[in-house]
Structure 1
């Protein structure tokens, strides 16, 4: 019976006359047993099979089959105790030689490790039990390291073999590969030493794009829908497809990706938990990768020289899963994250070229040197800060890539149209044009497939919800770092952290703010804030974004409000500009006309509603100077976003309306700074917008003039091309300026109605009156026809609504004498006829306003005209005033003369105050100047009063 069982298990026969089909003939005659098959000589039979039988083509598969047949015989003979020792010996031999097969490359005839692995990956289910037993044998024999060093480097070579594609397109291959990893690391003894396997930790000289090919975990960490081949296979084969079809592809890949990520996390988690060494090595591995890939956030980096989006995004998502337990809503473990992490013996994150939140490199390095803690950080701290790093360079690099290829698609489509147009008129070059067109269409298909894959990835709500939950948890931690006592969220944080610097420009107080910025937050790398902001702004574009109606969103809004409220926290104005842009998205009504998704937080969160308004007004002012060459234009985008937020809050949340009125009354110096900036912007934007519309009108007429076209056909196309370029530039600039101006005008209309006194101070009233008068002339004056353009809506230009808004401001301020006088003093643009024409357009022609509105405007202009005549008479009376009595900038008689400390020039206090609202320097020698430094000139003031009195006495 034993002989038959052995023959069945090993598929061998000792009788050359009777060999069952599929069996192998072996000669195992021995002195002890003679010509018989028993357990004593089965080792010899097995050795013969593996090392001499040339007909045995797949020795490892043979061993696996022997093992499986042995297990079957065990079940069939489970009640036969006499066979237990036989089966035990068979297992010992088969499993032992299975281990030897991986230890000695050429041990078996017709066999090698690469072949064995290929068979395992083709039919893992049938090999899993045998492979598991081999691992256990290696553990017992203390040869686990040898097994790992032969198995996994060979596995890496196999998946990277020429022409092999290891991705989601080959489900059998990648699933079985993951199963192999899962099987191995499920043994704690394996997990504890897995990172010591050859090829796990690469040489530091490895290039950024080589980690996913040349490290043990690299290939499996690239398993993602973002893999280029997966994108092309799923999205590139059908260029034109319905939204439903595309969504089906998204959902299929999203479901598959979720399963893959869970399995990757299982593998990494086992390694992390294996031992202190394996945990350290794993974190070091991830650190090496991200440190080599900082250029993923660069504007013009070569993508093919960096790690792929698939690889970096997967690692980010895995790290986020590791971070979830200590960033849950209870925050019971938040104190485990070391706020002084960057002072510790940190081996994993390279900060050598990182911009800091509010310190320079030299200052940060000195701080770390002076406060170095030689205690190694715990895993929670390592994991948290590594996740923040990957959020910026991993997923952050992926979303930046998406932003780059979107305009590429548009450019390729335009190029295709140009080539088609050229082809229709140049038949002689049809072959060349056809090849060019085919190449462009292939590029378009490739790029659109990548774009679709990115859209599918970022529209995966469950996945992105994990990312945003991490961001919300990280926001709470960063507030904890900012908190002087580091006790947030268990203790509230009081803002501001340092006294507000009202009346001091950002260019002057930057040093003050840096000195008073909180430690250690000021020394943190900028990416800890930039990564969350970039991601949140980007993901808010998606209809199913995890940021919408998220109960944890308030943590992020609290951090954003704190950053804006305390200018000492973050020195980079562009970063704060992105933050207000995101807040404006959160303030705008959603498509169903419901309030913006942040509005409830703006209203109900105490930290936010106590600080956000002041923060927005303050940043509106200090964003004037961003430090870049394009700072003059940078500020408009930020202020546009702030205007959206202010309008929504003012109209829909009473507490903010009350706060704004309070600021205007109780904190006038602060509020006037804000009004002055609004006025500067509106003045420029209206002038720029209307000028560009006029240019659009003029050039458009030229391009449509047949005589001009015929004339240029006789010369060259250069002039026409030049006109086209100028026309397109004017269109772009008009659209931008008019859109920004419309939002500013809305705020002026709202605020002048409720807080008119803030708009008639000496610092701003004359400039406001001049701006209104000038633009009224532009809209209804003799040259208003130059603003007529085709489809004005595309430029955000509605002349009738703009005219109504302008006239509303006149009416809102009509009861303020200083405003009436300022309008009348503007001899350049004030004209009664313009007001009458405006009344005619708004009332009689369009019916946009009521009779009451028209009557109020008419009463205002009558009063202004009366005042103009009175002012004219007074000017004649004082026309011989001495030059020393005249303001050197306004050329009007000074009312409150002051002397500037360095230039010694005498100037009216209101004039220099207005100047300092925009520029904190002496206008005559450009030296720094503050209002409190000017010197009252009481003697000159007295002489002016005496001269005026004498002039009146002469009448």
Structure 2
């Protein structure tokens, strides 16, 4: 082919601009070892020429000193002086030499006149002179990818793919032998490439970048003898960790870019295993997990690192408005949800890579939870330091809760049938090795140490799983999530509640100091303490109330409720079954394998949501029915849950379902505005609410189920709220009346009926609480008088502080007892509006009448001045309300003559003026004239009975001692012999005693009413004596 002929070749257009085809052909031909006839090999030379151009365009290098027209390229003159074109044989050497150049810019050759534009020229020069190895190699790979689209299906596709392989080979060499590019930071190059390409406008570069790094990791994995994936990528993970721990916080935009970067590590098993090994602490100490890369990303939060700061949010809260704080909180929520979703994406991706990576992730989670298990113990909660430096932080665990809850979403959303795949025997499983744990899917450690719902019944077969039993991911995820919630949400909730109480104390101190000293004279430490406390409070609240966290928690706990309810009634099941009451007294023994934390987490959550985010319930709709079900199944069934504290907590969870508008204690109970109390009317087990509520009320008092008295009343407070609410619903009122009817029919049964025990405790509580409350009010009155008289000014500063502290303590106790006394008295008044006969039964009538008289005489008699303190509202002391409730109770029972006689017979408190004094108070507090007239009629009725009673009393005063009850000193009407002590008591007296204490009051040995022996002879004597004396008096 002549020189003229080659100019017509279609590939001539690919020659450098301005170059003559004839010149280029001569160069190629001259460099051939064997000069060929161009007329015979024109196609071969043209392809080689074009391939050389493509290789040069990809790697921006040339071996031709005259190649200056196409684009800026680095001229490598030392490769092969005799070869001026590029081919696949020399390409690896060419690229390596290019990488080793200290300053590629010095070797660029290009005729700037041929540049398309100044902008393009600047970018082309930058690409050609790139010194950073990974940047250069990825750029070459990217250019090859763009050309691959152009030449797909042609003979040049092979060349381009080989170029990508060369780029990967050299990138692998850099990662495995970083000493070749010692002056460069390959980890930072990796990070820069990822960030600059991950979110490109078109997204193409992102896919190419991910493909490049994934294939690069695979290349490294193929040649592990030079360096493993772990060794190659560990420096990158180290730098990521350094950046994340020193430069970022929750609101930093780069945080989420780094989280996106980390998701790259679940693109292959070697990468995932390298990442997991990097995040596995060398020493399995509790805090070490937080100091890993996985732990680091779980520790970004609005929660302060420590109580002493630094504080990133809500600084100087007193200066901010509620709107401003709400905006800050909303921004925090958005960041926390974004963080949680990203971290979940990372965990979920790692789990999905392979069986081995799933095993490693579950191992990491289980080991972390196990090593931090002491976080949940009381002593760590009370003494924060130095435990903050020993265990993983609240920040870490709350974020881990989010991740675990999100992992549970597939079987929690819409109550999937998958929940019945959860195996209740999981916590009994024991593994012998790591391989055994992987094979059988058992990663949680020492779950058997957790307290179960019930103890293992004696003589039952072994409940532990067999040594070859395997478990599924759903089971592991379910139990690990509950364990995590125990260590995370529960612990932080406890801290939050304690902080709330402490803030109330500081606020009172602040108010007192402000009142005494004014703003200027107040010690700055008090205000600073209050500011810091509010800052921490708002930060914790923002973290705990993040909406997605709460929504997922609610779904998870509803799922738990469904599963537990089915297990508690039917044992292991594979589908939903209808639950009916009454439940069997013999529960499934499988309950002895289920940890209490499953229900403890549920009650903690419902109480928190009720107080701080009640609108969370709205999204649940009818699924809240499952919460009602699990509450009814366990609350009144000690056979299914031994722990009385936990059953009492379920009562508070029940109170969270009460609508706010209908709840008189709105300050303590929360609500589902959407549900509007429908659940108490339409739930298929609703008619059993009252019975289960009374069961738990009574059981926390009974032998073997006792709890501390203050805790007991705390438990009962929400129970009163539920009772008050359901009393207004006919379905529940009728259910209570049925309990009353049964109690009256079986009032002397060996085991006292439920309602009888309930009202006995109600009266006990009222007597104790109101008595204590009045005692504290009297002490406050004395302290206030001492202070007003100036007696404290004579004391030293230390003594004055002691007096102030004592007064504060007494005030807190007074407030607490007043609140509980008000609730208890109100409950009695409420019940007696429609239930009367059982209150006036022989075993109860004396107690109720004496209680009413005793407190009425204190509140309307001469002693009332002892309780007349300043600012009664501060102590929740509401004497007028108590008097009103007491007087209403008198009226409710007024028609029963036994009650009226009992009121009259109370020689300790009753006097003819008692009800008259009460009437004056009732006028003041606004009772209607009709009610006051009814009260006057009762007063008159009692006085009329007094005339008859006086004659009876005179007669009884002469009764022989053997006729008198040894405890009460009253004439026995139905004497009975106690079998163990052989003492004789009146039947009503011993019956009343056994309601609270099922033992002989003299021998202290166990006793029930069916064991007492009627003393027939003595009763005959008493009856005969009464007839004779009445006859004598009548004749006289």
Same fold (TM over 0.5): yes
Which consecutive unaligned segments of at least 5 residues does structure 1 have? 500-515
| Alignment deviations for residues 225-267 of structure 1 (CA, whole Å, 9 cap, x no partner) | 4474999334448773222222222223323333333333333
Which sits farther off after the overlay, 583-592 or 391-400? Answer: 583-592
| Alignment deviations for residues 849-884 of structure 1 (CA, whole Å, 9 cap, x no partner) | 233323322232233233334333323323333322
Name the CA distance, whole Å, in 1 between partners of 2:463 and 2:824.
Answer: 49
Match of 1:174 in 2: 255
Name the CA distance, whole Å, in 2 between partners of 1:493 and 1:821.
Answer: 48
Kept after mapping to 2: 8 A contact 1:496/1:566: no
Shift of 1:821: 1.3
Match of 1:751 in 2: 831
- What is the DSSP-based 3-state SS (H/G/I as helix, E as strand, rest coil) of the residue aligned with 2:985? strand
Distance 1:871 1:894, change over 3 A: same
Equivalent position to 1:811, from 887, 891, 903: 891
Distance 1:183 1:532, change over 3 A: same
Kept after mapping to 2: 8 A contact 1:613/1:659: yes
Shift of 1:197: 4.8
Match of 1:333 in 2: 418
Match of 1:65 in 2: 139
Which consecutive unaligned segments of at least 5 residues does structure 2 have? 1-14, 16-49, 105-129, 199-204, 381-386, 431-441, 745-752
Match of 1:283 in 2: 362
Equivalent position to 1:96, from 169, 172, 177: 169
Match of 2:748 in 1: none
Kept after mapping to 1: 8 A contact 2:317/2:535: no
Kept after mapping to 2: 8 A contact 1:96/1:134: no
Kept after mapping to 2: 8 A contact 1:587/1:596: yes
Distance 1:296 1:366, change over 3 A: farther
1:542 equivalent to 2:626? Answer no
Kept after mapping to 1: 8 A contact 2:132/2:184: yes
Shift of 1:164: 4.0
Distance 1:903 1:697, change over 3 A: same
Distance 1:717 1:627, change over 3 A: farther
Distance 1:489 1:770, change over 3 A: farther
Structure of greater relative contact order (alpha carbons < 8 Å, 6+ residues apart): 1
Shift of 1:907: 1.0
Name the CA distance, whole Å, in 2 between partners of 1:294 and 1:419.
Answer: 42
Match of 1:663 in 2: 739
- What is the DSSP-based 3-state SS (H/G/I as helix, E as strand, rest coil) of the residue aligned with 1:561? helix
Name the CA distance, whole Å, in 1 between partners of 2:447 and 2:847.
Answer: 48
- What is the DSSP-based 3-state SS (H/G/I as helix, E as strand, rest coil) of the residue aligned with 2:295? coil
- What is the DSSP-based 3-state SS (H/G/I as helix, E as strand, rest coil) of the residue aligned with 2:134? helix
Match of 1:158 in 2: 239
Shift of 1:211: 0.9
* Counterparts of residues 192-203 of structure 1 (less than 5 Å): 194=273, 197-203=276-282
- What is the DSSP-based 3-state SS (H/G/I as helix, E as strand, rest coil) of the residue aligned with 1:898? strand
Name the CA distance, whole Å, in 2 between partners of 1:91 and 1:150.
Answer: 23
Distance 1:626 1:581, change over 3 A: farther
Distance 1:412 1:622, change over 3 A: closer
Equivalent position to 1:496, from 575, 582, 598: 582
Equivalent position to 2:570, from 480, 484, 492: 484
Name the CA distance, whole Å, in 2 between partners of 1:72 and 1:337.
Answer: 50
Distance 1:584 1:241, change over 3 A: same
Match of 1:351 in 2: 447
Distance 1:535 1:883, change over 3 A: same
Kept after mapping to 2: 8 A contact 1:464/1:546: yes
Equivalent position to 1:632, from 694, 709, 713: 709
* Counterparts of residues 623-702 of structure 1 (less than 5 Å): 623-625=700-702, 631-651=708-728, 653-668=729-744, 669-702=753-786
Match of 2:121 in 1: none
Shift of 1:373: 5.3
Equivalent position to 2:982, from 904, 920, 937: 904
1:26 equivalent to 2:91? Answer no
Shift of 1:541: 1.6
Name the CA distance, whole Å, in 2 between partners of 1:867 and 1:544.
Answer: 54
Kept after mapping to 2: 8 A contact 1:195/1:278: no
Kept after mapping to 2: 8 A contact 1:221/1:264: yes
- What is the DSSP-based 3-state SS (H/G/I as helix, E as strand, rest coil) of the residue aligned with 1:754? coil
Name the CA distance, whole Å, in 1 between partners of 2:570 and 2:605.
Answer: 27
Kept after mapping to 2: 8 A contact 1:316/1:387: yes
Match of 1:506 in 2: none
Name the CA distance, whole Å, in 2 between partners of 1:423 and 1:96.
Answer: 78
Name the CA distance, whole Å, in 2 between partners of 1:541 and 1:159.
Answer: 40
Name the CA distance, whole Å, in 1 between partners of 2:347 and 2:519.
Answer: 61
Equivalent position to 1:250, from 329, 349, 360: 329
1:935 equivalent to 2:1013? Answer yes
Match of 1:800 in 2: 880
Match of 1:45 in 2: 94
Distance 1:601 1:344, change over 3 A: same
Shift of 1:471: 0.7
Shift of 1:603: 1.4
Kept after mapping to 1: 8 A contact 2:979/2:1012: yes
Shift of 1:614: 0.4
- What is the DSSP-based 3-state SS (H/G/I as helix, E as strand, rest coil) of the residue aligned with 2:996? coil
| Alignment deviations for residues 888-918 of structure 1 (CA, whole Å, 9 cap, x no partner) | 1011121111121222211111111101111
Name the CA distance, whole Å, in 1 between partners of 2:516 and 2:961.
Answer: 69
Shift of 1:287: 1.2
Kept after mapping to 1: 8 A contact 2:663/2:725: no
| Alignment deviations for residues 552-602 of structure 1 (CA, whole Å, 9 cap, x no partner) | 211112101111121222222222222222322332524999995473112
Shift of 1:538: 0.7
Shift of 1:52: 5.3
1:915 equivalent to 2:993? Answer yes
Kept after mapping to 2: 8 A contact 1:70/1:91: yes
Match of 2:372 in 1: 293
> What is the aligned length?
915
| Alignment deviations for residues 298-325 of structure 1 (CA, whole Å, 9 cap, x no partner) | 3342233222233222332222223222
Shift of 1:147: 5.3
Name the CA distance, whole Å, in 2 between partners of 1:208 and 1:114.
Answer: 29
Match of 1:554 in 2: 625
Equivalent position to 1:893, from 947, 952, 971: 971
* Counterparts of residues 495-514 of structure 1 (less than 5 Å): 495-498=581-584
Match of 1:259 in 2: 338
Name the CA distance, whole Å, in 2 between partners of 1:405 and 1:777.
Answer: 41
- What is the DSSP-based 3-state SS (H/G/I as helix, E as strand, rest coil) of the residue aligned with 1:496? coil
Distance 1:526 1:181, change over 3 A: same
1:839 equivalent to 2:839? Answer no
Name the CA distance, whole Å, in 1 between partners of 2:471 and 2:337.
Answer: 31
* Counterparts of residues 131-146 of structure 1 (less than 5 Å): 131-139=210-218, 142-143=221-222
Name the CA distance, whole Å, in 2 between partners of 1:320 and 1:952.
Answer: 78
Distance 1:470 1:786, change over 3 A: same
Equivalent position to 2:592, from 489, 498, 522: 522
1:383 equivalent to 2:477? Answer yes
Which sits farther off after the overlay, 797-806 or 35-44? Answer: 35-44
Which sits farther off after the overlay, 391-400 or 11-20? Answer: 11-20
Name the CA distance, whole Å, in 1 between partners of 2:574 and 2:830.
Answer: 38
- What is the DSSP-based 3-state SS (H/G/I as helix, E as strand, rest coil) of the residue aligned with 1:217? helix
Shift of 1:777: 1.0
Match of 2:37 in 1: none
CA RMSD between the two structures: 3.7
- What is the DSSP-based 3-state SS (H/G/I as helix, E as strand, rest coil) of the residue aligned with 2:378? coil
Equivalent position to 1:705, from 768, 778, 789: 789
Match of 1:736 in 2: 816
Name the CA distance, whole Å, in 1 between partners of 2:828 and 2:317.
Answer: 52
Distance 1:157 1:235, change over 3 A: farther
Name the CA distance, whole Å, in 1 between partners of 2:459 and 2:255.
Answer: 45
Kept after mapping to 1: 8 A contact 2:397/2:489: yes
Normalising by structure 2, we get a TM-score of 0.81
Shift of 1:401: 3.0
Shift of 1:725: 3.0
Match of 1:471 in 2: 557
Distance 1:489 1:615, change over 3 A: farther
